[in-house]
Amino acid sequence: MDENLKKEFDYDALMECVRKLSEKHSFLQFSYLTESVMGKGIPMLTLGAGKKEIYYVGAHHGAERITAAVLICFLNDFCALASAGATVFGMNLEYIMKSRTLHIIPMLNPDGVDISAGKLSRDSLWYERLVRMNNASDDFSLWQANANGVDLNHNYDAGFEEYKQIENSLGINVGCATRYSGERPESEPETGALCNFLRFNSPTALMTLHTQGKEIYYKSGSTCPTASKFAAVRLARLTGYTLSTPVKEAAFGGLTDFCIQKLGIPAFTIECGRGRNPLPPRDLSLIYASLREALFTFPTMF
């Protein structure tokens, strides 16, 4: 395992892994989705050139940075096996790359990750503003939002107004560590760029990784695209995770909701591992082992 994966996985660790992977494997395409609020490039790694486009997205939330490490484990694994011409779980990876295009965005919220990981310097121009948004505390370990205090997984145009009512009932009306949805859908550069990329391409299915609870969400309200239930049951069988409905406070404005409601494609939220966020780096190997077959098999489910 890469040494960067054995410690808290911040933005610098991600970019070092991306650099090594892109230098080693010529078939792995590296680009940037956009820049974050603080100006960090958000890497996107692409495998294959097939018509069916499959998306994997990690680290919407700062304290859920282990999900980015899970996707880097998957990329390392996939690239190494593809280079060797291997067959994995009965699948030929060369065929997968000819028939599918895999887009992997390991860390959608690099600012939130670094804030939560304690990488924000007291000398930063952002520091005092973020402390104010963090209830005047300099302990950012539970920080989930981006640098504007917007919870990216409530910033999508799917149930946004319904969530605003929940938000108001909780007394949340300005940027903070978690649950504030922003002034309008896609107000943030991270979510806006992802939505535009999805709109202007032809996504077939999407998986987004969060922590924790060992659960899988595959519906938006009562809406469930064709093929979603079959794939969800398969994912549950492969991972041992439970098919669930999110609690009311987490049920609106998410990426899975956006994909289902606005794009009409199967989308799945995988709540990785179990414990208290942020899950420790020592959990990575077990989490990846539980998800490995599902990650490799996901593109063939559609």
Supply 250's token pair: 């987490």
> What band does 182 get if pLDDT is binned at 50, 70 and 90?
very high
Mean pLDDT over the full length of the chain: 96
> What band does 15 get if pLDDT is binned at 50, 70 and 90?
very high
Supply 120's token pair: 């924000």
Predicted confidence at residue 2, as pLDDT, reads: 78
Mean pLDDT of 191-198: 98
Predicted confidence at residue 120, as pLDDT, reads: 95
Domain topology for 3-301:
Aminopeptidase (3.40.630)
Predicted confidence at residue 53, as pLDDT, reads: 98
Query: What are 86-145's pLDDT values in tens digits?
Result: 999 999 999 999 999 999 999 999 999 999 999 999 999 999 999 999 999 999 999 999
Query: What are 45-61's pLDDT values in tens digits?
Result: 999 999 999 999 999 99
Query: What are 280-297's pLDDT values in tens digits?
Result: 999 999 999 999 999 999
Mean pLDDT of 178-197: 98
Least confident of 33-42, 67-76, 219-228: 219-228
Query: What are 217-260's pLDDT values in tens digits?
Result: 999 998 999 899 999 999 999 999 999 988 766 678 999 999 99
Strand order through the sheet with 29-35: 29-35, 41-47, 100-105, 52-57, 203-211, 267-272, 215-217, 242-243
Tell me the percentage of the chain whose pLDDT exceeds 90. Answer: 93
Distance separating alpha carbons of residues 73 and 291, to the nearest angstrom:
11
Distance separating alpha carbons of residues 71 and 252, to the nearest angstrom:
25
